[in-house]
Amino acid sequence: MTDVLSLKKANCKNCHKCIRACPVKSIRFADNQAKIINEECILCGRCVVACPQNAKKVRNDLTEVIGAIGSGRRVIATLAPSFISEFPVSGIEKMEDYLKELGFFVAYETAEGAYVVKREYEQMIREKRQDVVISSCCNTVVTLIQKYYPAAIPYIAPVLSPMMASARLIRQEYPDAYVVFIGPCISKKKEIEKVPGYVDCVLTFDELEKWFEKRGMVLEPEAVNEKE
């Protein structure tokens, strides 16, 4: 599988903004070109935001999901809670309608997995399993610790992230489903490689928006009922 984050060499103007923005200095300037050192990258996405030339390329996995739908598989989405601020919908029901137009079988909120994770953390605290607990919800934070602060690894909670917990719930009901997580974070694309067997593919909100555009679908803001 190709790297989650790569460089569009033709676009790079060597402004060095990405190098200054990288919190772990995993971008180097060599041979008159900025280069991402993937072994050191934590996929925080700051370089993508900082680059004025759109020279950072996030791997597009739309083809994988469209192919799964086209093959007749039962493709199920789990949506990060922030979808409500990214798309003009009132809730998961309306968002599910749009996703079904794309071919998804059904859509769930990843928040359902977050409730499972929350209960596990509460139990850990009650049972005093660890004096120090670092949340395992964010793959970028976990990767930062694994690569740069290995002494803190024992403190990472041995708990699935909400994305993985949500996918596990889905697979309990639909064992043969093709599960797609949809959210804002590029780091989740790497997490599913590190913890296989739960989520088959990850799409960012940007990828989903491009899919809607490709299909000519316009998400109209929903009217708000105001009391007179």
The tens digit of pLDDT for each residue in 170-216 reads: 999 999 999 999 999 999 999 999 999 999 999 999 999 999 999 99
pLDDT of residue 223: 54
Q: How far is the C-alpha of 53 from the C-alpha of 51, rounded, in Å?
A: 6
Nearest to 162 by CA among 117, 109, 205: 117
What DSSP character marks residue 27?
A: E
**What's the rounded mean pLDDT across residues 130-158?**
95
* Burial category of 138 from C-beta neighbours within 10 Å (exposed 0-12, middle 13-18, buried 19 and up): middle
Model confidence at 92: pLDDT above 50: yes
The CA distance from 45 to 23, in Å, is 10
Tokens representing 194 are 């590190």
**What is the rounded average pLDDT for all residues in the chain?**
92
Q: In this model, does residue 118 exceed pLDDT 60?
A: yes
- Supply the pLDDT for residue 224: 47
pLDDT band at 225 (very low <50, low <70, confident <90, very high): very low
Structure tokens at 20: 């200054």
C-alpha distances (whole Å) from 53 to each of 18, 201, 212 are 10, 28, 24
Q: Global pTM?
A: 0.91
d(CA 72, CA 98) in angstroms, rounded, equals 18
What pLDDT sits at residue 220?
A: 81
Tell me the Cα Rg of the chain. 19
Q: Is the pLDDT of residue 11 over 90?
A: no
Higher-pLDDT residue of 43 and 14 is 43
pLDDT of residue 2: 83
Beta-strand relationship, 106-109 and 33-36:
unpaired
pLDDT at position 7 is: 85
